[in-house]
């Protein structure tokens, strides 16, 4: 799912801890680098230096070590933190009051201090004919985000369940073919708001999520801090293998190098969509500030740094970038900048008011054939969730396009999502 993807708008409130805890209030939780050992909770006086990507009162996203330290700060034994970890990530309990294994005084103290699990209600659900499910999740500030669950059953009958998660509310990059960007941009998501999407998909399907792709609403690289924190949590706490996680980007200057420094085993998927700079600028406006040669150099350096192959996403737009000549030029571009690249072709998924069209199957096969004949590994993505507006590039909520926020407590009056999409 391609979504185009900067600014940050959020508030963090400070609430004093109960009297039986140390007088120093617990303010920020140190940001956790994916490749580094988990840091301990920092206990400091309130300040404006908090990481804006972490809600200091959301338990979801915290490591077991964080939770143990939190328990100690509330006058509990450290093993209560291990219990908290189990409740959050194994039993997936959604409310502090349901932490029945913990002493009532501890639960009361957490609530009085403003702590919460960090799970949001599912606002609407729509299911496509192929089993793909799109969820609208209503955040604490009433904004809505979308996440998609994609079930695929293999020949042995086992199911691979992919969660396509959002990293921002809307998207600021406004790629011309993508519905998400047309809906505007509101703010970055915090780490727990990313992690909770995966847990919501598991709740709906009653099945463990096996794969996560950061291809929902927003540009992950414009919210890289939260994305890396969520990635660590999904890998270490929810226990989804790094190789089962894909981070997608349309390209943001200086961020691919930052991502490479973490040496993740996850896949980097770069939304290319054109074989030359001039054409790419007409499809991806942000390409003007990040020339194609600079992007390709960063991708080459990423491979050299991580030994992980970069996957290129290419949305096929009829009559725009889907000719055999484009495929030939794309192959030449990839050969110029390295070897072993993979191209994932994505037939355009129609969106309201778009001038683009989906190419005919014959054109798609000819494009793929031209790449294969030039020794480029290629695949054509199977379209999933099209009838639920949950397919690639369609992540846009039709009844709240602008300003990407619901009217407070007005969900009863909203139209049914299945009809609205």
> Where in the sequence of the chain do the CATH 3.20.20.70 domains occur?
122-407
Average pLDDT over residues 352-360: 83
List pLDDT tens digits, range 173-212: 877 667 666 667 889 999 999 999 999 999 999 999 999 9
Indicate the range of 107-116, 300-309, 389-398, 409-418 predicted with least confidence: 409-418
Mean pLDDT of the chain: 82
Map tokens 């943001």 to a residue.
252
313 catalytic per annotation: no
Average pLDDT over residues 351-371: 90
Indicate the range of 40-54, 69-83, 364-378 predicted with least confidence: 40-54
Residue 400: per-residue pLDDT = 42
List pLDDT tens digits, range 218-271: 999 999 999 999 999 999 999 999 999 999 999 999 999 999 999 999 999 999
Per-residue tokens: 323: 């000719």
3-state SS, the chain, equals CCCCCCCCCCCCCCCCCCCCCCCCCCCCECCCCCCCCCCCECCCCCCCCCCCCCCCCECCCCCHHHHHHHHHHCCCCCHHHHHHHHHHHCCCCCCHHHCCCCCHHHHHHHHHCCCECCCCCEEEEEECCCCCEEEEEECCCCEEEEEEEEEEECCCCCEEEEEECCCEEECCCCCCCCHHHHCCEEEECCHHHHHHHHHHHHHHHCCCCCEEEECCCCCHHHHHHHHHHHHHHHHHCCCCCHHHEEEEECCCCCHHHHHHHCCCCCEEEEECCCCCHHHHHHHCHHHHHCCHHHHHHHHHHHHHHHCCCCEEEEEECCCCCCCHHHHHHHHHHHHHCCCCCEEEEEECCCCCCCCCCCCCHHHHHHHHHHHHCCCCEEEECCCCCHHHCCCCCCCCCCCCCCCCECCCCCHHHCCCHHHHC
Residue 118: band (very low, low, confident or very high) from pLDDT cuts 50, 70, 90:
very high
Percent of the chain with pLDDT over 90: 66
178 catalytic per annotation: no
Residue 174: per-residue pLDDT = 73
Q: Which of 227, 159, 222 is nearest to 192 (CA)?
A: 227
Fold topology of 64-112: DNA polymerase; domain 1 (1.10.150)
Indicate the range of 136-145, 204-213, 307-316, 348-357 predicted with least confidence: 348-357
Indicate the range of 88-92, 105-109, 184-188, 352-356 predicted with least confidence: 352-356
Q: How deeply is 398 buried, as exposed, middle or buried, from its count of CB atoms within 10 A (0-12, 13-18, 19+)? A: middle
Fold topology of 122-407: TIM Barrel (3.20.20)
Residue 292: per-residue pLDDT = 97
> C-alpha dihedral over 204, 108, 106, 199, to 10 degrees?
10
Residue 299: band (very low, low, confident or very high) from pLDDT cuts 50, 70, 90:
very high
> Where in the sequence of the chain do the CATH 1.10.150 domains occur?
64-112
Which residue among 146, 196, 229, 313 is the active-site one? 146
Residue 21: per-residue pLDDT = 34
Which residue among 164, 171, 299, 392 is the active-site one? 392
């Amino acid at each position: 799912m391609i979504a185009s993807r900067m600014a940050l708008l959020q508030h963090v409130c400070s609430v004093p801890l109960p009297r039986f805890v140390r007088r120093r209030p617990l303010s920020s939780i140190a940001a956790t680098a994916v490749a580094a050992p988990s840091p301990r909770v920092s206990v400091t006086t309130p300040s404006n230096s908090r990481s804006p990507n972490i809600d200091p009162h959301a338990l979801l996203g915290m490591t077991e070590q964080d939770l143990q330290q939190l328990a100690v700060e509330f006058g509990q034994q450290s093993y209560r933190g291990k219990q908290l970890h189990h409740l959050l990530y194994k039993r997936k309990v959604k409310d502090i009051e349901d932490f029945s294994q913990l002493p009532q005084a501890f639960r009361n103290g957490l609530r009085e201090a403003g702590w919460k699990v960090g799970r949001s209600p599912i606002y609407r659900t729509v299911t496509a004919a192929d089993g793909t499910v799109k969820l609208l999740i209503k955040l604490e500030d009433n904004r809505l985000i979308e996440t998609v669950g994609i079930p695929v059953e293999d020949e042995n009958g086992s199911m691979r369940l992919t969660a396509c998660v959002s990293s921002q509310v809307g998207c600021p990059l406004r790629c011309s073919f993508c519905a998400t960007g047309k809906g505007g941009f509101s703010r970055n998501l915090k780490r727990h708001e990313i992690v909770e999407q995966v847990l919501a998909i598991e709740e709906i399907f009653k099945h463990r999520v096996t794969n996560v792709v950061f291809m929902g609403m927003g540009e992950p690289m414009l919210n890289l801090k939260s994305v890396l924190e969520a990635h660590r949590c999904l890998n270490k706490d929810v226990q989804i293998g790094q190789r089962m996680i894909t981070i997608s980007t349309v390209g943001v200057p200086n961020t691919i190098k930052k991502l490479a420094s973490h040496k993740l085993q996850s896949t980097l998927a770069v939304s290319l969509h054109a074989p030359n700079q001039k054409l790419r600028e007409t499809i991806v406006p942000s390409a003007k500030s990040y020339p194609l040669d600079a992007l390709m150099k960063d991708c080459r350096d990423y491979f050299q740094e991580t030994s992980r192959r970069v996957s290129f996403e290419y949305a096929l737009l009829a009559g725009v970038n889907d000719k055999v000549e484009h495929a030939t030029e794309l192959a030449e571009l990839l050969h110029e900048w390295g070897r072993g690249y993979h191209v994932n072709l994505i037939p355009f998924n129609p969106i309201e008011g778009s001038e683009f069209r989906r190419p005919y199957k014959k054109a798609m096969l000819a494009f793929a054939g031209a790449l294969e004949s030039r020794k480029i590994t290629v695949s054509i993505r199977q379209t999933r969730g099209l009838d639920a507006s949950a397919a690639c590039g369609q992540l846009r909520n039709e009844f709240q396009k602008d300003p990407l926020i619901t009217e407070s407590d007005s969900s009863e009056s909203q139209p049914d999502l299945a009809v609205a999409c």
